[in-house]
A and B are shown apart, each in its own frame.
Chain A
Amino acid sequence: MNLYDTLFWFFSAVAVGCALGVILSRNPVNSVLFLVGTFLAISGHYFIMNAQFLAIVNIVVYTGAIMVLFLFVIMLMNLNADVEPQKGQLIQVAGVISGGVLFLVLIAAIHKASPMPIDKQSIDIGLINNLGKVLFKEYVLPFEISSVLFLSAMIGAVVIGKKEPALPAEGEAQ
């Protein structure tokens, strides 16, 4: 068992374990922290697959920005295990079963796929240099459009989150 395989199994175990933690922990804050762990493990996977840039971006954007945003919101609302709404036992079992069935169906569908070895020789495709060249040559239009998407998302978030002006009473509208 070489280093690569060891790291794969390690990161996989962390990712699955933390993912289970996300859905099982009662306290939302813990869920967020578990999700951070999952994302870190996935970033680790990116590292061992030589996708260094994506690994860094994943850590910075997801773990650093998005999850912190989640954390902020949760803390803003002062959510904790006591106010956490809980579904009935039956629903939870049904959710697990249906999720598991979906998993089994997908596994059954692809279990015959011939295992292809992961190419460990090409170490440079994940470099920021190469990614940047493709991104700004072939994907420049989607890139620009995504900036528009961001802008509209930002405006949307501001509009939604803005404090509503008090509605005028029925008669005053005239």
Chain B
Amino acid sequence: MSQVVYLIPLFPLIGFLINGIFWNKMPKSVGGAIGTLAILASFIISLGIFFEVRSAAFHGPVIVNMFDFISSGNLNIPFAFQLDALSSLFLLIITGVGSLIHLYSTSYMHEDEGMVRYFAYLNLFVFSMLLLVLGANYLVMFIGWEGVGLCSYLLIGFWFKKRDYTNAAKKAFVMNRIGDLGFLVGMMLVIYYYGTLGYQELFSTLGGANAAVPSSVHSWIALCFFIGATGKSAQIPLYTWLPDAMAGPTPVSALIHAATMVTAGIYMIARSNALYNLTPGVLHVIAFIGLATAILAATIAIRQYDIKKVLAYSTVSQLGFMFLALGVGAYTTAVFHVMTHAFFKALLFLGSGSVIHAMGGEQDIRKMGGLGKHMPVTRTTFLIGCLAISGFPGLSGFFSKDEILANTFAHSSVLYIFGLLAAMMTAFYMFRLYFLTFSGTFRGTEEQHHHLHESPAAMTIPLMVLALLSVVGGYVGMPAVISHHNAFASFLGPVVKNFGVHHLAESTEWILMTLSVVVSVMMIGVAWSVNKKPQFAESTGFAKLLENKWYVDELYDAVITRPLNALSEFMDKYAERRGIDAVVNGVGKSVRWGSDRLRLLQSGQVGSYIFIMVIGMVILFTISFFWVR
């Protein structure tokens, strides 16, 4: 099975090519079917590969060499795929959640004229994402990395006729590019010091006593890679693009900006665990940044009114949790949370899409309320998603989040307190969203009220499947205190080596678990009591600060964008026009002036030509005979 791994990215590529080439010739339903079936085929092969990797006969990573990509001197980078526990797990998440979202999109995007184009982009995205996780070296990962960035740009700006949306797309692209620069520099450092980009070659030389490479280099490489991860996974300071990315169609937000692409940074760091294990200092940085992002985004989410913005900030916050887990060395936990988060966040986004669909494009939760009566399936599944993300016992989010918090506590109790705070806020804002949307009375217009309806089956089936996964998804990684065997961690164990993770006493772990459950249930109650009678008065003070997202966008605008614009304007006016332009025009003018004078030499008289020729001959002879020796 592992020898046909190339089929996994090939199917989406074919789907992209068909949809991309015939985007204006094909009927919408055919385009949607092709796109969905391509991902479904990949999913089936991924399943086969996953079971092969799980089987006892599988030893170590399998590297499938496709062809020599770069071969220059000592540097040899093949285009190769690597199959192991980590990549097979990500394959499943991407193709599994991906095919559900494709199915959902066939219905959600049916009214849109660019539906075939949409599916082409979506397939290209899945192709790039699969390359990212399949690559056996950083270069192939980088190709996928850039590919998903491009698709993210294309899909955020999918409705390119709206100026705001294209601006959001540009913002996402530029922010990603800043991070990508870090990734690139990291790759160059790796090539410079180790002469290879392959995971196997690099990690096997890393651990050894390689005296030639100073240890500070490891930190620099790790830091550069982490900068790349902050861009792609929306961490401080590069997180502001993700909330704006909600301009794209809702299934895109579910697939790209919640379930898969934004977890690429976590994948990269988990993949590079051998590197990060050598650099505890960088891990501390990651933990702090992750925690800060988790708290900052959670505070902002509390006061947002756009249903998708709340979910977007929630995503940023959850990504912060994952980075916190990475930072405390619990890589498997981070990947576990990636998986459960993919389930429930995709579910929540799709649910919000269903709501938006029913509301006829309205996204403001102040104009919703009481939708639960009209949309029972959406309501139930959304509730499951909210419970899962809040860490309600027995649901998938409970296990993964609890594991993160437990590992954080083992690392440092201060970090734990802040982590718990962020988890509290998560429960609060999610249920604030739920209550405002689904319970109470309808606050929209009469017309919208009549229009309310449950979504068609193509949309509700993915919701139900994802809801099921959100419930049971956590049982693969039950903590040791419950099941005495963490199946998930031991599956990933051979590939991802956790670093400095202490095992807590069972009683401590039980206490922590109870504490987080009590806290989140309490916050659900608070959210219910606060939003029983919703009041939307003009917010003041701290709330206003939160509503305006801590003014981070404004801060970036003032600190980076404006000075940059001023500088550009200055350069345009002086360096460009008076400097470079003047030089260029001056050269042109002087040539013109000179040739105007030189033209007089062309008297048109044969005699003068002969004369000049003779003089030239004399000069040439003189030079050749008397000067050149």
- Digit string of B599-629 for contact with A (CB within 8 Å is 1, else 0)? 0000000010001001101100110011000
A99 near B607 (CB under 8 angstroms)? Answer: no
The listed residue with most A CB atoms (<10 A of its CB), out of B607, B618, B622, is B618
CA distance A45 to B244 in the complex (A): 99
If A87-B607, A91-B607 touch, whether A109 touches B625 (CB-CB below 8 Å) is: yes
B611 near A98 (CB under 8 angstroms)? Answer: yes
B618 near A105 (CB under 8 angstroms)? Answer: yes
A102 near B614 (CB under 8 angstroms)? Answer: yes
B621 near A99 (CB under 8 angstroms)? Answer: no
A98 near B625 (CB under 8 angstroms)? Answer: no
State whether the Cβ of A167 lies closer than 8 Å to any Cβ in chain B: no
List the B side residues contacting A102 at CB < 8 Å. Answer: 614, 617-618, 621
State whether the Cβ of A166 lies closer than 8 Å to any Cβ in chain B: no
Which chain A residues (66-122) contact chain B, with CB distance < 8 Å?
A: 87, 91, 94-95, 98-99, 101-102, 105-106, 108-109
A106 and chain B: residue at smallest CB distance? B621
B614 and chain A: residue at smallest CB distance? A98
Residue from A87, A91, A95, A108 within 8 A of B625 (CB atoms) = A108
List the A side residues contacting B617 at CB < 8 Å. Answer: 102
B608 and chain A: residue at smallest CB distance? A91
B625 and chain A: residue at smallest CB distance? A109
B610 and chain A: residue at smallest CB distance? A95
Residue from B607, B611, B625 within 8 A of A105 (CB atoms) = B625
* Closest CB in chain B relative to A107 CB, distance in Å: 11
CA distance A105 to B621 in the complex (A): 7
B624 and chain A: residue at smallest CB distance? A109
CA distance A98 to B626 in the complex (A): 18
B621 near A98 (CB under 8 angstroms)? Answer: no
List the A side residues contacting B626 at CB < 8 Å. Answer: 108-109
List the B side residues contacting A101 at CB < 8 Å. Answer: 618
- Digit string of A34-69 for contact with B (CB within 8 Å is 1, else 0)? 000000000000000000000000000000000000
Residue from A98, A99, A105 within 8 A of B622 (CB atoms) = A105
CA distance A95 to B608 in the complex (A): 10
* Closest CB in chain A relative to B112 CB, distance in Å: 62
CA distance A18 to B380 in the complex (A): 121
Residue from A87, A98, A108, A109 within 8 A of B615 (CB atoms) = A98
CA distance A162 to B614 in the complex (A): 34
* Closest CB in chain A relative to B245 CB, distance in Å: 70
- Digit string of B285-305 for contact with A (CB within 8 Å is 1, else 0)? 000000000000000000000
A95 near B618 (CB under 8 angstroms)? Answer: no
A102 and chain B: residue at smallest CB distance? B618
CA distance A48 to B611 in the complex (A): 36
List the B side residues contacting A87 at CB < 8 Å. Answer: 607
A95 near B611 (CB under 8 angstroms)? Answer: yes
List the B side residues contacting A95 at CB < 8 Å. Answer: 611
If A105-B625, A108-B625, A109-B625 touch, whether A98 touches B618 (CB-CB below 8 Å) is: yes
- Digit string of B132-159 for contact with A (CB within 8 Å is 1, else 0)? 0000000000000000000000000000
A105 and chain B: residue at smallest CB distance? B621
CA distance A91 to B614 in the complex (A): 14
Which chain A residues (1-56) contact chain B, with CB distance < 8 Å?
A: none
A109 near B621 (CB under 8 angstroms)? Answer: yes
* Closest CB in chain A relative to B453 CB, distance in Å: 78
* Closest CB in chain A relative to B320 CB, distance in Å: 85
* Closest CB in chain B relative to A29 CB, distance in Å: 22
CA distance A72 to B621 in the complex (A): 38
A110 and chain B: residue at smallest CB distance? B625
CA distance A87 to B625 in the complex (A): 33
List the A side residues contacting B611 at CB < 8 Å. Answer: 94-95, 98
B612 and chain A: residue at smallest CB distance? A98
If A87-B607, A91-B607 touch, whether A99 touches B614 (CB-CB below 8 Å) is: yes
CA distance A102 to B616 in the complex (A): 10
- Digit string of B170-207 for contact with A (CB within 8 Å is 1, else 0)? 00000000000000000000000000000000000000
CA distance A94 to B618 in the complex (A): 14
- Digit string of B578-615 for contact with A (CB within 8 Å is 1, else 0)? 00000000000000000000000000000100010011
The listed residue with most B CB atoms (<10 A of its CB), out of A87, A91, A94, A98, is A98
CA distance A91 to B605 in the complex (A): 13
Which chain B residues (520-557) contact chain A, with CB distance < 8 Å?
A: none
B622 and chain A: residue at smallest CB distance? A105
CA distance A101 to B622 in the complex (A): 10
List the B side residues contacting A109 at CB < 8 Å. Answer: 621, 625-626
CA distance A30 to B178 in the complex (A): 88
List the A side residues contacting B615 at CB < 8 Å. Answer: 98
List the B side residues contacting A91 at CB < 8 Å. Answer: 607
List the B side residues contacting A108 at CB < 8 Å. Answer: 625-626
List the A side residues contacting B625 at CB < 8 Å. Answer: 105, 108-109
B619 and chain A: residue at smallest CB distance? A105
CA distance A101 to B618 in the complex (A): 7
CA distance A98 to B625 in the complex (A): 18
* Closest CB in chain A relative to B618 CB, distance in Å: 5
CA distance A95 to B614 in the complex (A): 9
CA distance A38 to B615 in the complex (A): 26
List the B side residues contacting A106 at CB < 8 Å. Answer: 621
CA distance A99 to B625 in the complex (A): 18
Which chain B residues (437-468) contact chain A, with CB distance < 8 Å?
A: none
* Closest CB in chain B relative to A99 CB, distance in Å: 7
CA distance A94 to B622 in the complex (A): 19
CA distance A102 to B621 in the complex (A): 9
* Closest CB in chain A relative to B621 CB, distance in Å: 5
* Closest CB in chain B relative to A91 CB, distance in Å: 7
Which 10 A-B pairs have CB atoms at the shortest separation, nearest pair first? Answer: A109-B625, A105-B621, A98-B614, A102-B618, A101-B618, A105-B618, A105-B622, A102-B614, A98-B615, A102-B617
Q: List 11 A-B contacts (CB under 8 A).
A: A87-B607, A94-B611, A95-B611, A98-B611, A98-B614, A99-B614, A102-B617, A102-B621, A105-B621, A105-B625, A108-B625
**Residues of B near any A CB (own CB < 8 A):** 607, 611, 614-615, 617-618, 621-622, 625-626
Beyond the given A87-B607, A99-B614, A102-B617, could you list 8 further A-B residue pairs with CB under 8 A, ordered by the A residue number?
Answer: A98-B615, A98-B618, A101-B618, A102-B614, A102-B618, A105-B625, A108-B625, A109-B625
